[in-house]
Amino acid sequence: MAKLKVTQTRSALDKGSKQRGTIRALGFKRVGQSVVHDDKPEIRGMIRTVSHLVHVEEESSKEEGKST
């Protein structure tokens, strides 16, 4: 499964409580912090809600295509 590296670039302090809650739910505690999530529709929706506060990169997994 693809991974998304999400970095918080702006503060959510003066934004609404819904956006602050979404930032917390994504796992952020401070500006500049990065978290990695699976590429799921639920996560994409959360990112869309706070897209003006975060930067998203697709992370290629080294284990993709590797059979066990």
- In order, the DSSP letters of 6-57 are EEE-S--TTS-HHHHHHHHHTT--STT-EEEEE--HHHHHHHHHTTTTEEEE
> Is residue 66 over pLDDT 80?
no
Average pLDDT over residues 6-11: 96
Query: Structural domain tally of the chain?
Result: 1
Domain of residue 54, CATH code:
3.30.1390.20
* Domain-located, residue 20: yes
Give residue-wise pLDDT tens across range 29-64. Answer: 999 999 999 999 999 999 999 999 999 999 876 665
Domain range for 37 is 3-59
* Domain-located, residue 41: yes
* Domain-located, residue 7: yes
* Domain-located, residue 66: no
